[in-house]
Amino acid sequence: MKLKKFNFKTVNSTNDLAIQIIKKTNNKSGIIIAEKQKKGRGQYGKKWTSFKGNLFVSIFFKINKVQLSLKDLTKVNCLLVKKLLSKFYNGKITIKKPNDLLINRMKISGILQEILTKSGEKFIVVGVGVNLTKSPIIKNYLTTNLFDLTGTKITPNYAALRLKKIYETFIPMFPKFNIKNLDRNLK
């Protein structure tokens, strides 16, 4: 499956834009890539700090035939983002439920999922933020970024294209996922 690519300099929120595209067009899947978000959102309406140079994308696709719960979809999406991070970082990457990825107990990535229905078709929007070059300061929550960890500068576009390929490989498998064998399914 190929995800249609939508590139933007500045958006309010990549998830909001993905939702608009689903509602106003006939696109069934895509990836929104933005250099900057003015009103990035995290879980429970929290603000997502969007420093230029970090990764801000939203991937959307139909999930009509997917038999996974929202909790299991979250786990799958966390593992797919973990797969991306592991291409750049060789150490241990952990998932802090429900939707954060940590390295050395510090947040490096977060995911915001939203489900919507249009004309009887069910879609998921998976917003992904990854600290590539700069870490936000979050009260009582340590953060990190890939540049500080590896000394290598990864461009947002390069990371977005790698994530796009990961999703293009795994979206066709979503209806067949067995949650008990999830880690094996994602190798």
Domain ranges of the chain: 4-174
Average pLDDT over residues 11-16: 93
**pLDDT(25) > 90:** yes
| pLDDT confidence tier of residue 186, bands split at 50, 70 and 90 | low
pLDDT > 70? residue 47: no
Q: Are 156 and 132 in contact (CB under 8 A)?
A: yes
Of 65-69, 92-96, 100-104, 122-126, the least confident:
65-69
Residue 86 has pLDDT above 90, yes or no: yes
Sign of CA dihedral 7, 137, 87, 183: negative
- Over residues 92-101, the mean pLDDT reads 94
The CATH code for residues 4-174 is: 3.30.930.10
Q: How far apart are CA 82 and CA 89, in angstroms?
A: 10
Q: Is residue 64 pLDDT above 80, yes or no?
A: yes
What's the pTM?
A: 0.91
Helices (H), the chain: 14-24, 70-88, 146-150, 156-170, 182-185
